[in-house]
Amino acid sequence: MKRTLREKTPHNLILEYPELECIEELHSAFQHIAVYRHPELGKMLVHDNIVMLAETYEAAYHEMIAHVPLLHHPNPQRVLVIGGGDGGTSREVLRHPEVSRLVQVEIDGEVVRLSKRHFPDLASCYQDPRMELHIADGIRYMADCAEGRHRPFDIILVDSTDPKGAATGLFTETFYKNCRKSLKDDGILVIQGETFYGMAHVQKQILQILRQQFRDSGIYTSAIPFYPLGTWSLIYASERLRSEWQLRENALRNLAEAEQGLNYLNREIISACFALPNYALRLAGLQPEPPGKV
């Protein structure tokens, strides 16, 4: 039986996906999870009627959240992923041979199980010996890190759902303070940062907190067709100014020339993704309103 999925966007527009084949669905302890098949987008992972990924274009998200910070860190050995149970972000992280240990903390074990069954390419990361998976609360894990119960990380990636339900605590001052305490001095934090279109107040709140904890913070973007209104942001923070970041050109070349290659990222996109339109800068509080505007 075919289904139609309707996802409401922040501007009260509707994304509609007709003619979906439901492959599997269930209610976990945290959310409703479904796997659908779309004739053009391929298999889709959907949480509470919100599309998390579509396999045809998943690289637009996973390559950008992982490779942009890792390619700008001089030696990313220890990486932490909060969330990301589908495995796509961790798969991309593990493409870097410099990474000696990847810790992933996912609260919902059913997401991991379904990904292993229906998205084996994304879930291939779980077979890597460098992977350490915890089915646990990422908020609690970060608190433990901040208290010195785990070694600090070079990179922390927060691959979360929207700020509601179990993910609400991933968008708080306490959580970001704990992230700062859990990073090495040259570390980089990247957060799934929503969209400018109707969610800029969330971005502004995050950046206000990060500016109190880090020397530098800002936004870069990716074009993701299965997320509301297409332009999605990733928020970064670091003690190193972005002007001090050096792109590891050899590492980028190795990724591009590897057997699986890169489906979204290239040198030009890395340069361009940090360029934001003026209205987005203003909405996020990164640029003042023009003089005379009421």
25 assigned ligand-binding residue: no
Q: Which of 48, 121, 128, 159 is catalytic?
A: 159
Rounded CA-CA distance 172/115 in Å is 28
8-state DSSP, 288: P
Q: SS3 letters for 216-234? A: EEEEEEEECCCCCCCEEEE
Band of pLDDT at residue 293, cut at 50, 70 and 90: low
Q: Region 32-38: what's the mean pLDDT?
A: 97
Closest to 219 in 3D by CA, of 227, 202, 184, 230:
202
Taken in order of first residue, the domains within the chain and their CATH numbers are: 2-54 (2.30.140.10), 59-283 (3.40.50.150)
88 assigned ligand-binding residue: no
159 assigned ligand-binding residue: yes
Active-site annotation holds for 186: no
Rounded CA-CA distance 172/187 in Å is 20
pLDDT in tens, 149-203: 888 999 999 999 888 888 888 999 999 999 999 999 999 999 999 998 888 889 9
86 assigned ligand-binding residue: yes
Q: Region 253-265: what's the mean pLDDT?
A: 95
Band of pLDDT at residue 122, cut at 50, 70 and 90: very high
In the chain, the percentage of residues whose pLDDT exceeds 70 is 99
Q: Region 39-47: what's the mean pLDDT?
A: 96
Q: Alpha helix (H) ranges present in 128-172?
A: 138-146
Least confident of 106-110, 206-210, 288-292: 288-292
Instruction: Report the pLDDT value the prediction gives residue 292, as an integer from 0 to 100.
Output: 64
62 assigned ligand-binding residue: yes
- Does residue 221 register a pLDDT over 70? yes
* Global pTM value: 0.95
- Does residue 10 register a pLDDT over 80? no
- Residue with the bigger pLDDT between 86 and 199: it is 86
